[in-house]
Chain A
């Protein structure tokens, strides 16, 4: 082996190592997910492309909710109204689409996305203007948005346009690539990549890791926070749309998405203190949780233990995680 090739290889390693270290948590999650899928195939040999499709459709709403939560948590806040915003946007969508043409449904979808941005911006404006802690404002707003959802319709109902349903059902090119997975990746990439590359994306991380330092470096803290909340509202609206698309109706009662999204965000390596993490980790965490649920069904374990398992995994991962962090900071 020549000296040049060794140097080249070391250079490549030097470039990869920091990236791997930075994304260690997510890489670990992806590895764990791979092992889980292999295990699933072992215990249930009939698990194939249809299983993957069911998985992708099942995780879509929660994955988008986790993405919504991740954005605001990275900016140092938290949004406990995501579930209610999802319910509100979902019923608005289902109610407006009932008995309307396919073309009109496009207008509805765009309108619902704008509605999501407005809801998020209201949350953000209240947090910025009142200076009340994020958790209190969004907790109170969760009542408000849930009430709005009930105003739109008192009982589950409505309809989803055919193309919206087809957007998440079925597969694309190969039957191993579910459409809903593509939709998820496209939605997240199209919105988040431009934002994270922009000044605003950097500002979101900056106010999350140190508000005062960000303020003194000339970052408009209030405006950035408002933007982060609006983006969360947009993703919550997308999550609401995906609920309508996958079920065909709108349900005015918020599901368990708010607290589950917090759990997924933390499992996905986003620090609740803000300023750290990405959007990929939370999505993988949601998939992992769903696969564990599926596996427990295959093993015919009482489905209630799934809750216990979810909680224990959350606790275990966090304990190990913070323990490792403590040891590293001591060393």
Chain B
């Protein structure tokens, strides 16, 4: 009899569904492994420790930017200004290389500028209740404009990515562990613990789940949101520094291609764009999935157009599977 019960449990769709809903990391990791196995079959011997190092190095900036989306999406928002803020940070830092203050001063200026942009966004979203989508979009226009102006001002001084950033962004320890983990691991711990263990993190979930209930229970949404968008902008700036080190370029449109994938990574990672559900751990796996997927499509030798089509289709399929499994409409 016990055997029969056990067999039933394995076949019980509801139990599986609950598992997937409560522990989204399990199916996500499964999908990631499936992709890795496929790439290994497509090109035997490609999956080695250095290969993982390269994948992780490429995933780090995407995961941080997707972290911005995760945090804002938890409150029912979104941050479309991450790409321009990230590019701005990398670019501004690069223009300070030849100045007396050096790149450290540049980094300080970049982070301060990002925080200021986040503050304005936060005030717009939190105090004036402007839709986050449109507020962050407008902020991305403003930041892009100012970056362009800064570029014209700085055209004589010349710019270069500081070697320290290049080291952090592109070098691997023992060919496996990217040095960007020096930044990424503390950030990850901070976000994970911040979301799970602090009151602030819980309030983010509360605002996203039911803003009215949150307000009636005395949550000061404006303050929470202002801090949130400052955090998001600073995270985006850090990601931008890593991207400019990784690619060894500094331009005002450097991170533009990361914008849509960052939203996609957060969505694939199980964060609901409606707010109230999700987490950063899933997002990291989501970023890894997207990076491995891109690598797989390259290994398969598909031309760029087909790659884009497959990429988009897979995002739809995964998101649809998610919605089906979790039963959320």
List A residues at the B interface (Cβ < 8 Å).
78, 126, 129-133, 135-137, 139-144, 146-151, 154, 259, 262-263, 266, 272-273, 302, 304-312, 314-315, 318-319, 322-323, 326
Contacts and interface: CB of A to CB of B under 8 A. Distances in A.
B273 A306 contact: no
Nearest to A133: B273
Given A136-B315, A262-B134, A147 B142 contact: no
B156 interface: no
Contact of A136 (B139, B149, B319): B319
Given A133-B273, A310-B138, 5 more contacts: A139-B264, A140-B315, A262-B137, A318-B134, A319-B124
Given A304-B152, A319-B128, A143 B133 contact: no
Contacts of A322: 128-130
Binding site of B, secondary structure by majority: helix, strand, loop or mixed? Answer: helix
A53 to B, nearest CB: 27
Interface in B302-319: 304-309, 311-313, 315-316, 319
A311 B306 contact: no
Binding site of A, secondary structure by majority: helix, strand, loop or mixed? Answer: helix
Given A135-B273, A137-B316, A144 B309 contact: yes
Given A302-B149, A314-B141, A326 B323 contact: no
28 contacts: A132-B322, A136-B263, A139-B263, A140-B315, A143-B312, A147-B304, A147-B305, A147-B306, A147-B312, A149-B305, A262-B134, A266-B131, A266-B134, A272-B133, A304-B148, A305-B149, A306-B145, A307-B141, A307-B144, A307-B145, A308-B142, A308-B145, A311-B140, A311-B141, A314-B141, A315-B135, A318-B135, A319-B124
Contacts of B129: 322, 326
Nearest to A306: B145
Interface residues of B, number: 48
A131 B328 CA distance: 8
Contacts of B78: 135
Given A140-B316, A150-B305, A304-B152, A131 B260 contact: no
Contacts of A305: 145, 149
A147 B267 contact: no
Contacts of A323: 128
B145 A272 contact: no
B15 interface: no
Contact of A130 (B273, B304, B320): B320
B329 interface: yes
B124 A318 contact: yes
Given A136-B319, A310-B141, A318 B305 contact: no
A327 to B, nearest CB: 12
A318 B309 contact: no
Contact of A311 (B145, B308, B313, B319): B145
Contacts of A78: 133
Interface in B164-195: none
Contacts of A154: 305
B316 A126 contact: yes
Interface in B221-272: 260, 263-264, 267
